[in-house]
Amino acid sequence: MSRKVLSVLLATAMTASILAGCGGAAAPAADTAAPAAEEAATEEAAPAEEEAPAEEAAPAAAAGTKVGVAMPTKDLQRWNQDGSNMQSQLEEAGYEVDLQYASNDVQTQVSQIENMINGGCNVLVIASIDGESLGTVLETAKAANIPVIAYDRLIMQTDAVSYYATFDNYMVGTKQGQYIIDTLDLDNAEGPFTMEITAGDPGDNNAKFFYNGAMDLLKPYIDEGKIEVKSGQVDFEKVATASWATETAQSRMENILSTNYADGTNLDICLCSNDSTALGVENALAANYTGEYPIITGQDCDVANVKNMIDGKQSMSIFKDTRTLAAQVVKMVGQILSGEEVEVNDTETYDNGKGVVPSYLCEPVFADINNYKELLIDSGYYTEDDLK
């Protein structure tokens, strides 16, 4: 084993032991991914062999190894956290980092990825804006033997993606659905309860997983009449929110409220796939609704939403600790570059249209008023002041 490879492994092990991992077992990587990873490792391993001083093993190993990190937007809090966690953890492991945000503009993201390829990045980590729009630029990455890790969102219709690291997106939805079932005691309560649904961006492969996870649990109650969706908008296409935009979710909910709830009918449940859409729904309710406040779900534990949770304006949010996902991806980068087996725990769920992409799924948890302090403050994710 070259010193470079050993050092990358050491760096990886250090990072993994410092930061909580996602748990789960290693599984063999897909065949398609291996050649690019191995070639990259071989190319990078050779020159550093003479240079790496043993006592500075970890940083020297990664020195000269550049990782491109493409994030969708700075507008949403979580991507800022993802980006800065990735950057600091990669730098700590000794890598050079090219971190870019694309203002939710697909063309900007494509150009940024082109620049990363031309700028000598050895691995690309990409949280796509539109999962379907990166096929062409990733052909170039593949031709240059640059492995690609899809970060949080799967990149579709390309065989250039080596791995996928995310939170279990279906489980995000089931946790939201189960929260509603438990809170209202749906199996025993008489009902009926009214519900409106706000889902995510159709261009984001995750959005349907969230929706399906929740709806697989809630649909039986809709079918038996215990939950009534007064707007009649139930199908994903009807309830989706382009770009996950707060304003879009808000104006749609304003319409729903004025058409269906202005006569004093109570709205009992707002199933919202994430916090940016939940915020839109909460804004609409604040201005247009006087009934009993509904249960509102969310995802990400954004500061504005946790504050609303503390104020009783949002019931729960799914907590996806971006430090954990970043740690997992840094580990995968190290494994790819060293030609080691890459740790994955799902080789079935995420087919991107060209085949199943070997994935690592971290486990999401729900946060509400009862456990947010322990999850968010005690863990150092936020300070108490952040939430004031």
Residues in touch with ligand BGC (CB under 6 A) = 76, 78, 152-153, 200, 204, 206, 244, 274, 276, 299-300, 320
Three-class SS state of 250: helix
Give least dist CB 320 to ligand BGC, A.
6
Please list, in sequence order, all residues whose beta carbon lies within 8 angstroms of the beta carbon of residue 253, skipping any fewer than 6 positions away: 196, 198, 270, 280, 281, 284, 285
Would you say 209 or 289 has its CB closer to ligand BGC? 209
Query: What tokens appear for 53 in the block?
Result: 């001083």
Would you say 12 or 352 has its CB closer to ligand BGC? 352
Give least dist CB 243 to ligand BGC, A.
8
Would you say 15 or 276 has its CB closer to ligand BGC? 276
The whole-angstrom separation of Cα 267 and Cα 198 is 14
Residue 22 near residue 361, CB atoms below 8 Å = yes
Give least dist CB 366 to ligand BGC, A.
14
Would you say 299 or 335 has its CB closer to ligand BGC? 299
HEC profile for 135-163? Answer: HHHHHHHHHCCCCEEEECCCCCCCCCCCE
- Residue 25 host element (H or E): none
Give least dist CB 164 to ligand BGC, A.
12
| Secondary structure letter of residue 72 according to DSSP | S
Give least dist CB 275 to ligand BGC, A.
6
Would you say 299 or 315 has its CB closer to ligand BGC? 299
Would you say 52 or 272 has its CB closer to ligand BGC? 272
- Residue 211 host element (H or E): helix 205-223
How many Å is the Cα radius of gyration of the chain?
A: 22
Name residue 16's amino acid: A
**CA separation (Å) from 205 to 64, 316, 328?**
34, 23, 20
Q: Which residue is nearest to ligand BGC (CB)?
A: 274
Give least dist CB 161 to ligand BGC, A.
15
